[in-house]
Each structure stands twice: as C-alpha cells, then as structure tokens.
C-alpha cells in the first residue's frame, strides 16, 4: 500500500515530464529504437536502407529529386540527421550569395548535404567532402554519382577531419577556402575550426556554416567564436530537421582575420 501511494504521488510529475519532453521521446524512438529494430530485421545499416529508398524513388541525374526522396524517407520512414529542407534553404541562400569556388564539407554522412551543396555551386567550383566512416562514404559516393556529380566537381576524402585539414594545402593544392560547412561530430567543431584558423586557408570573407549548434549543441564552438574576435557571426534559429518541437540553429560565421 505504501509503495502504491508513493507511485501515485509521483504520477503527476511523471506525466508532466512526458508531456514536456514528448518531442525528445519521439526523437529517441525514431532515431534509436526504430533504427535498432530495422537493423536487426533487415541486416542493413540505416544509411544503406536510405540509399535503397532513394535509388528506387529518385530520378538519376536529378539532384533535386534525390534530395526530395531523402526528405521523404527521413520524414516518413526513418530518421537521419541530414540538414533537411528548411535549414537546407538557408544553406542554399548563403551559397548563392557567396558563389564560392573552393568549398570544404566536414561530415558527408550519406551524401545529402554534399548533393545539396554541389548543386548550388557556380561553374568551375570544387567541393572537398570529408567523411571518416568508410561505409557511409561508400554510400555518399553512390549518391553523388546517382545525382550526376563526378570527381571534377566533388572529391570525397575518407579520413578523419583532423587528419585532412593539415593536408589540404600540401596534398590537395588548396590555397584558400571560400566556404566551409560543418556537420560532423559536434565535439570536433571547435578544434577543427581552430585548426582551419591556423592553417592560413581562411581569408577575409571566408564563410563557415555549422549545423546543430543548439541541438545536440556545440557550446565550446560557440564560446570560441564569441571570444576569438575573428568573426562576424549570427545564429539562424530553426527547428531540428524532420522533427517537431525541438529547437536548433545554424551558425553563420564570416572570417574577418586577425586585427
């Protein structure tokens, strides 16, 4: 009887927590529990399942069709943390405004944002996309070829970002990065940005865009850009991709250099 009474006493608190954090529970169910169940049932990774869906629902050679198929799969079938269509439109606009010729992407995952960036680049531009996971990189490669992009437009580099950045000048002949998109491990945002600062590859006006800086969040990265004095910056408020009720944001940085 005492245990039952204690349980009833905590019931209102439990219901309050469930209601307050319901969107996070839904995200956990979609991103973790469903993924484990589908992994066991299909014997394929989530990224392989996404590729199969895109392959059967998109038009080869049409980047927009491929992005739409990805968005449909992530919204209606399984969750993948791509940048998504709404934040993607912010990225599209910034790319159109900047017209960058040399772009670095940190975190290709399975190729969604890579296709999104590549399709917005001006003629003659080149995108270097870094992905450390070999299996995901193999899928990204297939997605890029399905979208119609070749090695002259996109070079996929399968290595950890902290190994690639010091090699960009010597191994890839890059003298300046006009645009950097960060969507890899959030704990890597700050050290990778500091490595880019020290590399000499950021020039005045170079733009860095970082996704998911509010959720799951990159507090050390945000603290660095506030204190460094190297950037003009802003946060684009948004909702987490393919979700409801979870606030997120993208950081837009313009490198101003050392005074």
C-alpha to C-alpha distance for 80 and 93, rounded to whole angstroms: 23
C-alpha to C-alpha distance for 185 and 102, rounded to whole angstroms: 22
Angle, to 10 degrees, between the axis of helix 134-147 and the axis of helix 46-57?
Answer: 10
| Nearest to 78, CA basis, from 42, 105, 106, 114 | 42
Answer whether 239's CB lies under 8 Å from 212's CB. Answer: no
Hey, which residues are catalytic here? 183, 186, 211-212, 241
């Amino acid at each position: 009887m005492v245990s039952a009474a204690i349980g009833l006493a905590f019931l209102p608190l439990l219901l309050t927590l469930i209601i307050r954090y319901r969107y996070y529970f839904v995200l956990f169910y979609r991103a973790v529990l469903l993924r484990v169940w589908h992994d066991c049932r299909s014997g394929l990774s989530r990224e392989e399942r996404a590729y199969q869906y895109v392959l059967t629902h998109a038009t080869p050679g049409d980047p927009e069709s491929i992005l739409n198929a990805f968005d449909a799969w992530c919204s209606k079938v399984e969750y993948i943390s791509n940048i998504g269509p709404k934040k993607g439109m912010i990225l599209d606009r910034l790319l159109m405004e900047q017209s960058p010729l040399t772009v670095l992407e940190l975190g290709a995952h399975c190729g969604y944002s890579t296709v999104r960036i590549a399709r917005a680049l001006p003629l003659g531009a080149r995108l270097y996309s870094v992905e450390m996971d070999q299996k995901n990189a193999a899928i990204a490669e297939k997605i890029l070829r399905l979208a119609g992009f070749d090695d002259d437009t996109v070079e996929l580099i399968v290595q950890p970002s902290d190994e690639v950045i010091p090699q960009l000048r010597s191994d890839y002949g890059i003298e300046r990065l006009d645009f950097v998109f960060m969507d890899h491990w959030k704990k890597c945002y700050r050290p990778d940005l500091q490595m880019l600062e020290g590399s000499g590859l950021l020039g005045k006006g170079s733009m860095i865009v970082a996704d998911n800086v509010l959720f799951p969040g990159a507090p050390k990265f945000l603290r660095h850009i506030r204190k460094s004095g190297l950037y003009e910056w802003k946060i684009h408020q948004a909702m987490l991709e393919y979700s409801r009720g979870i606030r997120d944001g993208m950081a837009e940085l313009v490198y101003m250099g050392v005074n």
